[in-house]
Amino acid sequence: MSNGDIDARFPLELEAPRFGLKKPEARFDVQGDMGDDARIATAMKNFVRDFGAVAATYMESCIHCGMCAESCHFYVATGEAKYTPIWKLEPFKQAYKREMGPFAFFFRTFNLKKRTTVAQLKEWQELIYDSCTMCGRCTMICPMAIDIASLVGLARHGMAQAGLVPHELWGVAERSDREGSPLGATPKVFKERCEWLADEYEVSIPVDKARANIMVTMSSIEIMKYPQSIVATAKVLNHMGADWTFRSDGYEATNFGMLSGNAQWQKDISLRLINAAIACGAELLILPECGHAYGALRWQGANVYGKPLPFKVRHISEFLAENLQNGRIRVQPLAKTMTFHDPCQVSRRGGAMEAPRQAIRALGAELVEMKETGGLNWCCGGGGGVVTIHRADPIRYKAFQIKMKQVEDTGAEVLTSTCSNCRQTFDDGQAHFHWDKTMTSLLELVADNLAEAPSERPSAVK
């Protein structure tokens, strides 16, 4: 397929509460024209490609207690047994036991585990992609502490190479690899947006400085749907007097290569950021309000690169918390009650759980925690690429109702988070349910409440 054909088959939707691909009239959920044997062999080869002692331990350890179901928003919201997290891996468990485990010989010889088929994998596509946000809540309940989300990630490697990625997710991932952004935020578009925003909001937005201490990245959702986040970022960094820049050769932090399971695309996308940060000599790379971008670069970036990164990687919430606490960012008190939605990949799985709370307290707001919060927070239902998949909408909306209730129960005036993908999932849920709560960005709240005359402060960063 030519690029034009791909664009025609996978057109973007940039006007709805949720940005992504338009709802397809005809779905193309199978890519390439491999035969069944080749497809299954490819799926399994790539599933086990990064298989080590950790994944094998998890594959061997399930005791079939079924408790993981009770932690999963898709099971709890629907009551359908097929959404049990460990069941989502069944064909891969079957293949592991038959082909790779310590007793594979017996399983094969006596045909105790059947050969996984392409039909099975096609059936499981819905479970591996549409109904798993890789939020990792099931890891928290599993009595064996099996990290099912990481296994789903490996299963997606197999599915992606075998050409079994859902239509929308393949479409945005391919565009991301080809154009540098899943939502059409090409380098040209990004630079034009920055110029326009700089004029419109009378704020300096440095792009492509040759040298800078800090390189800042954005999510395509922010660039296209919430461009005020770019302004907020600039306002905060300028307020601090920081030496920073955006780079048109490395600005897009989302990694749909990772979400779709395409390891090569994941690497390509991460290397753009890494190489850009090295090129401008950055000591710090700030990741935007995006959940999976944190997992992709903070925790997997160096491993994709093959050695430690020569700069630090921090989420914007960590950066805000640190500089609010040390006084380099000064704010006016925001006397409101506020509840915080933890983005799974930053909080539960990323470890940056305290930072946003420190920032909220530094803002002077009263934090009202949800009943299940921090590491046990309920996912919004849109992570892991799920929000892009139209086919998943019915179960996603059901899962979102858990989140709505959590928010309602707090009675807080302001709802905030630090992930633009969660934010657009909330926007979409808000529109669907005609809900009166709007998700806000913690970064924008900080930027909107900066204290005046920063240049007079002795603590400003030179």
> Out of 12, 16, 17, 82, which residue is the one contacting other proteins (CB under 8 A)?
82
Question: Rounded CA gap, 407 and 385, in Å?
Answer: 23
The Cβ of residue 11 has, within 10 Å, a number of other Cβ atoms equal to 12
Question: Rounded CA gap, 111 and 253, in Å?
Answer: 45
51 contacts other proteins (rule: CB under 8 A): yes
Which one, 300 or 358, has the nearer CB to other proteins?
300
Q: How far apart are CB 58 and other proteins at their closest, in Å?
A: 7
Tell me which residues in 111-170 interact with other proteins (CB under 8 A): 112, 136, 139-141, 143-147
Question: Rounded CA gap, 372 and 360, in Å?
Answer: 18
* Piece in contact with other proteins (CB under 8 A), picked from 207-215, 232-240, 302-310, 403-411: 302-310
Question: Rounded CA gap, 299 and 291, in Å?
Answer: 12
Backbone angle region of 311, left / alpha / beta, with phi > 0 → left and psi within -120 to 50 → alpha: beta
Q: How far apart are CB 302 and other proteins at their closest, in Å?
A: 4
Question: Rounded CA gap, 365 and 442, in Å?
Answer: 11
* Piece in contact with other proteins (CB under 8 A), picked from 125-133, 244-252, 372-380, 450-458: 372-380
**Residue 216 host element (H or E):** strand 214-216
Q: How far apart are CB 200 and other proteins at their closest, in Å?
A: 37
C-beta separation of 206 from 235 below 8 A: no
If 0-12 CB within 10 Å is exposed, 13-18 middle and 19+ buried, where does residue 26 land? exposed
Strand partners, 450: 331
352 contacts other proteins (rule: CB under 8 A): yes
Q: How far apart are CB 66 and other proteins at their closest, in Å?
A: 4
C-beta separation of 176 from 152 below 8 A: no
356 contacts other proteins (rule: CB under 8 A): no
24 contacts other proteins (rule: CB under 8 A): no
Question: Rounded CA gap, 444 and 63, in Å?
Answer: 45
Which one, 55 or 234, has the nearer CB to other proteins?
55
207 contacts other proteins (rule: CB under 8 A): no
418 contacts other proteins (rule: CB under 8 A): no
> Out of 57, 275, 332, 459, which residue is the one contacting other proteins (CB under 8 A)?
57
Which one, 19 or 311, has the nearer CB to other proteins?
311
81 contacts other proteins (rule: CB under 8 A): yes
Question: Rounded CA gap, 102 and 89, in Å?
Answer: 19
**Sign (positive/negative) of CA torsion 197, 200, 203, 207?**
positive
Residue listed under structure tokens 């933890």? 342
Which one, 307 or 462, has the nearer CB to other proteins?
307
Give the angle subtended at the CA of 444 by the CAs of 461 and 22, to the nearest 5°: 130
Q: How far apart are CB 92 and other proteins at their closest, in Å?
A: 14
310 contacts other proteins (rule: CB under 8 A): no
299 contacts other proteins (rule: CB under 8 A): yes
Question: Rounded CA gap, 416 and 341, in Å?
Answer: 6
Name the residue among 390, 441, 442 with its Cα closest to residue 25.
Answer: 390
> Out of 178, 375, 401, 435, which residue is the one contacting other proteins (CB under 8 A)?
375
* Piece in contact with other proteins (CB under 8 A), picked from 60-68, 162-170, 259-267, 399-407: 60-68
* Piece in contact with other proteins (CB under 8 A), picked from 213-221, 295-303, 332-340, 414-422: 295-303
307 contacts other proteins (rule: CB under 8 A): yes
351 contacts other proteins (rule: CB under 8 A): yes
The strand pair at 20-21 and 244-245 is best described as unpaired
Name the residue among 371, 340, 439, 382 with its Cα closest to residue 74.
Answer: 382
402 contacts other proteins (rule: CB under 8 A): no
> Out of 6, 62, 207, 460, which residue is the one contacting other proteins (CB under 8 A)?
62
> Out of 13, 60, 268, 408, which residue is the one contacting other proteins (CB under 8 A)?
60
Cα–Cα separations (whole angstroms), residue 62 to 66, 139, 145, 146, 212: 9, 12, 9, 7, 49
Which one, 318 or 444, has the nearer CB to other proteins?
318
65 contacts other proteins (rule: CB under 8 A): yes
* Piece in contact with other proteins (CB under 8 A), picked from 50-58, 163-171, 248-256, 330-338: 50-58
Q: How many residues bind other proteins (CB under 8 A)?
A: 66
> Out of 21, 44, 46, 71, which residue is the one contacting other proteins (CB under 8 A)?
71
> Out of 233, 254, 347, 424, which residue is the one contacting other proteins (CB under 8 A)?
347
Buried b (16+ CB within 10 A) or exposed e, 117-143: ebebbeebbbbbbbbbbbbbbbbebbe
Residues in contact with other proteins by CB under 8 A are 50-54, 56-58, 60-67, 69-71, 75-76, 81-82, 84, 86-87, 90, 101-103, 106, 112, 136, 139-141, 143-147, 298-303, 305-309, 312-313, 347-353, 371-372, 374-376
